[in-house]
């Protein structure tokens, strides 16, 4: 009989139930969308903040003091210490490896740049140009079959290149398999190494000064100095300009080339780099994150180590790179932390406000729906139903409505969240069952709270006056 009464209530006034359900569904849809976007927005924004560039810098511990003005190091190339490039793949083994967005090693030197190999009238020259050897779009293959592409184009996304970056393997020797028909006389089948032509990217200001265009060649020595340079073991390095870099910083006056080429130019620096920029996704540092890890109790230390604070990731990196000094670039990291914390708080408050609005509106409409059933309640009571039975019936109806409306609202809200996420971040937020549970729960609580006050009053109704229509 109970079920029949509930079913009857739904079938007898379908339009009315539909309206209350629709209000509920819409309210919950907005709540779902707000929660999903808020849950997701932290990660998305953190990723967005990586467009500010690297937040960690690694330098050799034993380094001499850099004499850097305007981004140019005035130390001689041979002064100071270096770090081995072969350690870099270990970065992909740290606990928070998946939070590493990109990294790029840098080896810098200064050299003169010529636009022609010999001193003809067409050759123009720029002295003391900063040459930056680094990676760009370099794929790293790991044992689990995934590829991680990294380089300065990822750590410094504001770098704009007209043309293209140098090829990741430019300036190296490529291993080529050799088969019998192509074999030089006397060689057996196997493989050989073929040098890949050198390529480089020239800063916009420098390109303007030397009137260089994509496809031109530059040389690091002309014929008169080349001989002397060769004597000192510093080869002339002709490279093809593949792109013009606009960086909005000191790099506009520099030449960027593959790390391998720079290592060859900087004599005896094979496999070494001077500075490493790492861009990592972090959790903004809170009071716990700022504590000195040495003073933490073991359990707290584990918690600190397993939280992606910038300081704990810095520690993990220094553990895999021996002899390296990992420093946090405070300008980027602290600014990011401060803004991210504020924005997150702001969004949660906004979400809370919209939840509140949804709750009040849904509560109001479910209250209205109970109020208007006075006559029905009067009739039930006249037929001998106790207040408890009537209340139970109405609550069951409301809960059923909440379940249906909440479920529908959730699906609508997910669509809405996808729309908003797609529009703002170009990516939809991830689906989460937690949100579904929260939404259904919220719908139930809100409808119950909304109907509680009128239900209490309804339980006090005297049937007779209501049935008389008073």
Partner 1 sequence: MPDRKMFWRIIRRIFASNRARLFVILLALGAGAAVTAALLNLQVDAKRRLTTEFRAFGPNVVLVPKNSPSADSRTLPESASRSVPAHLPTGEVRVSAALYLIADVSVPSSGKATSAVIGGSNPSAFVTAFPRSSNYTEPNHSAENVCVLGARVARQLNAQQDAELILSASNRRESCHVASFRETGGPEDDRVEISLPAAQRLADLPSRISAIELRVPGTPAAIQSYVADLQRRIPEADVRPIRQFTEGEAKIYDRISGILSATVALVLVLTSLCVMAAMTNVAMERRNDVGLMKAIGGATRRVLRLFLAEAALLGLTGGVLGAAIGIVLSMWLGKAVFGIAARPRLIVYPVTVALTIIVAIAGAYPLRRLANIRPASVFRGEA
**Please, which of residues 45-104 interact with partner 1 by CB under 8 A?**
45, 48-49, 51-53, 56-57, 64-72, 74
> Applying CB under 8 A, which of residues 164, 174, 303, 327 lies at the interface with partner 1?
327
Judged by beta carbon, residue 61 or residue 223, the one nearer partner 1 is 61
- Residue 39 and residue 45: Cα distance in Å, rounded? 11
- Does residue number 248 form part of the binding site for partner 1 (CB under 8 A)? yes
- Does residue number 418 form part of the binding site for partner 1 (CB under 8 A)? no
Site string for partner 1, 369-408 (x = CB under 8 A): x-xx------------------------------------
- Residue 50 and residue 154: Cα distance in Å, rounded? 9
Minimum CB separation of residue 372 from partner 1 in Å reads: 5
- Does residue number 361 form part of the binding site for partner 1 (CB under 8 A)? yes
- Residue 390 and residue 378: Cα distance in Å, rounded? 10
> Applying CB under 8 A, which of residues 106, 247, 256, 414 lies at the interface with partner 1?
247
HSE-CB at 358 with a 13 A cutoff on CA atoms is: 28
- Does residue number 427 form part of the binding site for partner 1 (CB under 8 A)? no
**Which H, E and C letters describe 267-311, residue by residue?**
CCCCCEECEEEEEECCCCCCCCCCCCHHHCCHHHHHHHHCCCCHH
The residue count of the chain comes to 470
> Applying CB under 8 A, which of residues 182, 345, 462, 465 lies at the interface with partner 1?
345
> Applying CB under 8 A, which of residues 138, 367, 380, 393 lies at the interface with partner 1?
367
Site string for partner 1, 195-214 (x = CB under 8 A): ----------x---x-----
- Does residue number 466 form part of the binding site for partner 1 (CB under 8 A)? no
248: helix, strand or coil: coil
* Cβ contacts of 374 within 8 Å, gap of 6 or more: 458, 461, 466
- Residue 398 and residue 457: Cα distance in Å, rounded? 16
Q: Of 179-187, 216-224, 434-442, 452-460, which part binds partner 1 (CB under 8 A)?
A: 452-460
Judged by beta carbon, residue 159 or residue 264, the one nearer partner 1 is 159
Minimum CB separation of residue 338 from partner 1 in Å reads: 5
Judged by beta carbon, residue 115 or residue 351, the one nearer partner 1 is 351
Structure tokens at 317: 């990196």
In the window 128-147, what residues touch partner 1 (CB under 8 A)?
128, 130
In the window 251-280, what residues touch partner 1 (CB under 8 A)?
252-253
254: helix, strand or coil: strand
Number of residues that bind partner 1 (CB under 8 A): 87
Q: Of 141-149, 327-335, 385-393, 459-467, which part binds partner 1 (CB under 8 A)?
A: 327-335
Token pair 């009040």: residue: 360
469: helix, strand or coil: coil
Minimum CB separation of residue 271 from partner 1 in Å reads: 25
- Does residue number 37 form part of the binding site for partner 1 (CB under 8 A)? yes
Q: What are phi and psi of 93, to 5 degrees?
A: -115, 0
The neighbour count for residue 352, using CB atoms within 10 Å, is: 13
Minimum CB separation of residue 173 from partner 1 in Å reads: 33
113 closest CA partner among 250, 216, 263, 196: 216
- Does residue number 415 form part of the binding site for partner 1 (CB under 8 A)? no
Structure tokens at 460: 């006090």
Alpha helices in 13-151 (DSSP H): 14-49
């Amino acid at each position: 009989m109970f079920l029949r009464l509930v079913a009857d209530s739904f079938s007898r006034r379908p339009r009315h139930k539909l309206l209350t359900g629709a209000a509920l569904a819409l309210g919950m849809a907005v709540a779902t969308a707000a929660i999903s976007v808020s849950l997701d927005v932290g990660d998305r924004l953190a990723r967005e903040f990586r467009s500010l560039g690297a937040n960690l810098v690694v330098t050799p511990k034993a380094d001499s003091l850099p004499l850097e003005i305007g981004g140019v190091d005035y130390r001689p190339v041979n002064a100071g210490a270096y770090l081995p490039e072969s350690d870099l793949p270990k970065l992909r083994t740290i606990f928070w490896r998946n939070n590493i967005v990109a990294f790029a090693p840098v080896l810098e030197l200064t050299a003169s740049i010529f636009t022609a190999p010999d001193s003809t009238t067409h050759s123009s020259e720029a002295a003391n140009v900063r040459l930056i050897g680094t990676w760009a779009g370099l794929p790293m293959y790991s044992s689990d079959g995934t590829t991680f592409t990294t380089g300065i184009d990822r750590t410094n996304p504001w770098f704009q290149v007209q043309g293209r970056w140098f090829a990741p393997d430019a300036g190296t020797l490529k291993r080529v398999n050799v088969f019998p028909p192509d074999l030089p006389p006397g060689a057996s089948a196997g493989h050989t190494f073929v040098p890949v032509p050198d390529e480089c990217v020239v800063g916009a200001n420098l390109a303007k000064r030397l009137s260089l265009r994509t496809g031109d060649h530059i040389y690091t020595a002309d014929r008169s100095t080349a001989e002397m340079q060769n004597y000192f073991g510093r080869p002339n390095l002709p490279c093809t300009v593949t792109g013009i870099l606009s960086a909005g910083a000191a790099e506009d006056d520099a030449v960027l080339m593959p790390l391998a080429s720079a290592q060859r130019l900087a004599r005896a620096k094979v496999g070494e780099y001077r500075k490493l920029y790492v861009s990592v996704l972090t959790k903004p540092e809170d009071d716990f994150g700022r504590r000195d890890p040495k003073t933490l109790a073991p359990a707290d230390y584990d918690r600190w180590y397993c939280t992606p604070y910038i300081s704990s990731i810095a520690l993990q990196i220094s553990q895999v790179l021996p002899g390296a000094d990992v420093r946090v670039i405070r300008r980027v990291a602290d600014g990011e932390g401060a803004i991210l914390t504020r924005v997150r708080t702001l969004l949660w408050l906004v979400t809370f406000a919209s939840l509140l609005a949804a709750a009040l509106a849904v509560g109001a409409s479910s209250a209205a729906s109970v109020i208007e059933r006075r006559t029905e309640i009067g009739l039930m009571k006249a037929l001998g139903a106790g207040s408890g039975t009537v209340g139970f019936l109405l609550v069951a109806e409301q809960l059923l409505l909440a379940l249906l409306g909440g479920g529908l609202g959730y699906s609508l809200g997910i669509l809405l969240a996808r729309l908003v996420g797609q529009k703002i971040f170009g990516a939809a937020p991830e689906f989460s069952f937690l949100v579904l549970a929260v939404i259904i729960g919220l719908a139930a609580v809100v409808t119950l709270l909304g109907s509680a006050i009128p239900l209490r009053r309804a339980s006090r109704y005297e049937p007779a006056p209501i049935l008389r229509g008073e």
